[in-house]
Chain A
């Protein structure tokens, strides 16, 4: 009897702990459109709804749902509603592959949308390619993503193009001939961007005065920045993500570096200015879209996104919106709703009027379209110019 009592307490504790573990979990909910019936067309979406890239994944997901709701309100595709089934990959490439597998095998999706991060898109893309399901990535800019095979597309430009655009802008518009490069060596995005920028910029006759690098976990950049300041550049290229860029900018300004800083679409986050403050005024970066673009298509998208979600969309949302609409347009024009016919229709897309520009899918299944240079003025992202072909010198624009 004594023995049994002694065992009771540990057993009770274990039971309570188990109750805690299971009681705390919520059953996962799919954020697809509300009413579903057997007749719906199922499109799969995978994205980083949680994890480090969650802000990117959420805006993309919001915009895809917005596009789907608008399509269904206007009668869907041939009278059938489209249902987007969303799977979270927790910002991990290994989960992305599982998510796509589940979307295709369990949910019977006929086409896939996703991801933002190139590493996740590559993992998911390989699954799509092996199963012959077309996939459109809204915003993965690494060239390797669409190189997987003929089922993988994207609606954004690729990194070499973006880097060449920034080089053309720095050389022609800023009139810079001496540029410093500060790379995050832990990110393929950053090292690839720097490499392509240096190639393009030196070809135009510019000089890279100094190259420095940092690691993903660094928080103090003053050592490298002091050396950069010594080399007296006219501009500094920092192709990192916004949180690094914001603290680099602050520390650079505190060290007395006043020249403009340049970057790519990794800068695009409201947090950039929230963290960096005034240090980023007068800096430039290349992006997919300027939210302040006065064109009616952009204004309409911004207004309906704000009405639905109560916040201003970023360029990732715009690309998510374009990826969904381009897919829906292709489904409408496809001979049938079989995956191979949808793929052929996506591949044949010419001059699709997206809100991030007119999109033509080229032979490498990438989108041909212009990039926008954004200038940060008083903490606001403002459109400075659009560049569609970085190989052609720009008309000099005084700044």
Chain B
């Protein structure tokens, strides 16, 4: 009996759905079984069971319980997880001269051919299962290899650029020499060293802020953003659209889950071309439970990232990339709400730009910006970053750090680049540097992803700590061999990297030093110390602090003004306070870098924001 007849017999009132699925299968040229799930609304279990029955095959809905105990691990390892995922079949054990395989599709000829080649068997006995169950089985059978690969691939490909270690031997020796010189200098020359340090700090402070301003002057979002009209986004037929993988790394996000799933469901992209991968940490019970209570579309895949060191978003994304089938892939965070046509626009953008563009960054828009002072400052900062700073880096042909979310990649190129560095807590900045090293580029797409602005102080500090720690770490990684980095990035690129990636956290470290100088100046008891510093050094320190703060305030004003958020402008006067918060995070980041370099200081999302659809 035909599959559709079987289903009609089981669900008599499903005729319309069956017809819909048949039309979809014909129109999109996809297997009927897939169409029945994606467009007919049938459960994968029902369809797989009936397909198996129609083909006279065995079916299991739970391979882990029914089959795995008897699996021959050697057989599985001979094939490997990559091949298993590619052909949609996994060898289980030999039964005489027959190889018993778990398969996604009935009469899987490519699998049979592959196994004949590998095992030299002519007969295969297929046990059909659903995609979710198949993936789960692969995860279980190859858990060690998958976990290792998610962590080690980058280290293997780029050992010198891995953030697994913090300092290289050369850096440790240099650091010791520097500290020794400072101690010796202070012991012998006293306040001359203090003056020199203050002067250097002032120069760095005003220099980095000046560079940021100069970069902003060079860039204009309008010059670099790629515009794709809604009409152009809809031009391609479903057949012309490539398979697109959406990676959703989640950790302790039960509250944000409903809104995220809703936002992804709203994506305007053919279901049969969408490969959504929900990445949950294996031991994250609360998110597992929350997900179980939500209606997850059947064609989405839930993956279980093995617990183990390090526990970072980058590792989770690397793990997800093992299973990603799309020509393009994108990463979204728990609180993200992308524009529905973002994927289609990205496809159009990639087709328009040169082959050196390997990534498109969508614009980020922060919502709930008026919740409190912190959200206002946060959103002003990002207005400026996205409208001026990032375009400026782009315009000056400097390495562009991609954002941590809403970045769309050419999947093959991402894999060739070594994926994400699982040890880096700002894996996106590291990726931006590597993209520049490979002479690839990052484009900016005019399509928005909304995120909630972080409104809780301690939450914000933890988030910023993690980012600054990652920036420090990235700075150290690419300065293990500065000559090589300079050669790879060019002198201008290297300088831009030093000033932006290294200079940004450095400014926040230096700011308290300069502020302390100001406070000392206010204390009558400190006159003696100030005289040792000398009025000239004090003058230059004060000037740097004042100038740096005025420029910083003005830059945030610029961002808000440009977006016509005039009500935010008065709050820019509190930029020095915001900078002090950054300084707290920077010193905390430095401490964490030395003690817990790979610790992922999790940001909590309450999932109740405006950005939720």
The answer to whether A and B come from one shared complex is no
Tell me the B residues contacting A by CB distance below 8 Å.
none
Tell me the A residues contacting B by CB distance below 8 Å.
none
